[in-house]
């Protein structure tokens, strides 16, 4: 039965089965997982004192890790999906706390392009334009081709000033939240490609 016809509580297996499918069914699974535990962000704000952007980015990153592991069949079901995802989320909260503590004395450091790519919040919206301004346009276009067609379309529209909601409508994603999660994953891919290029 399609998920939009389900009237009962969505189970872990419902989400996993959907994530393992291709195309729109897979996107539905991503949305289901994302929406199911979005309240984790409240804990990041209240317990760890992160701001809303930081909390969202930690949650989105946790979701991306979970999706990847589920699709690689690495989730063995020894605990509930909620418990497993919360552990990933908690670990990422702790990692960010440590990072913020260790970086307190380096806030005025001049950032390179790969460093700027680490800034995943919407305050970094001009990053692609910054890269173009720094005469890296050819390299940027090359790396955008390497991240894949879907990522390229999302990032190009985002760089042109389109909102996540507008991108969702344009590219047939179900919600702006799914677009934002996907966009963060795409930026992470782009960051890794820049790192690899820098070390070569």
- Cα gap 129→12, rounded to integer Å: 40
Do residues 43 and 122 both lie within one domain?
A: no
- Cα gap 186→175, rounded to integer Å: 17
Q: Indicate the residue among 84, 104, 124 that finishes a domain.
A: 104
Do residues 15 and 99 both lie within one domain?
A: yes
**What does pTM read for this prediction?**
0.56
CA 117 to chain CA centroid, nearest Å: 13
Looking at the domain assignment, is residue 1 inside a domain?
A: no
pLDDT at 109: 41
Give tens-digit pLDDT for 27-82: 888 888 988 998 999 988 888 888 888 888 889 889 988 998 999 999 988 899 99
With cut-offs at 50, 70 and 90, classify the pLDDT of residue 193.
confident
**Cβ atoms 155, 183 nearer than 8 A:** yes
**Cβ atoms 86, 37 nearer than 8 A:** yes
With cut-offs at 50, 70 and 90, classify the pLDDT of residue 156.
confident
- Cα gap 133→128, rounded to integer Å: 9
Q: Indicate the residue among 104, 134, 156 that finishes a domain.
A: 104
Q: Indicate the residue among 69, 104, 139 that finishes a domain.
A: 104
């Amino acid at each position: 039965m399609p998920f939009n016809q389900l009237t009962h509580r969505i189970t872990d297996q419902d989400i996993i089965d959907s994530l393992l499918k291709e195309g729109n069914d897979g996107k539905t699974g991503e949305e289901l997982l994302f929406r199911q535990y979005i309240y984790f962000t409240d804990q990041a704000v209240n317990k760890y004192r992160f701001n809303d952007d930081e909390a969202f980015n930690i949650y989105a990153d946790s979701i991306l890790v979970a999706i990847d592991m589920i699709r690689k069949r690495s989730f063995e079901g020894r605990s509930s999906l909620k418990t497993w995802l919360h552990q990933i989320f908690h670990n990422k909260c702790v990692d960010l706390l440590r990072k913020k503590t260790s970086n307190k004395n380096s806030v005025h450091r001049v950032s390179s392009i790969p460093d700027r790519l680490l800034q995943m919040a919407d305050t970094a919206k001009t990053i692609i334009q910054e890269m173009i301004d720094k005469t890296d346009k050819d390299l940027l276009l090359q790396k955008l081709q390497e991240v894949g067609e879907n990522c390229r379309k999302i990032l190009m529209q985002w760089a042109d000033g389109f909102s996540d909601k507008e991108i969702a409508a344009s590219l047939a994603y179900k919600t702006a939240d799914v677009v934002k999660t996907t966009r963060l994953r795409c930026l992470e891919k782009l960051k890794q490609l820049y790192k690899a290029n820098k070390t070569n």
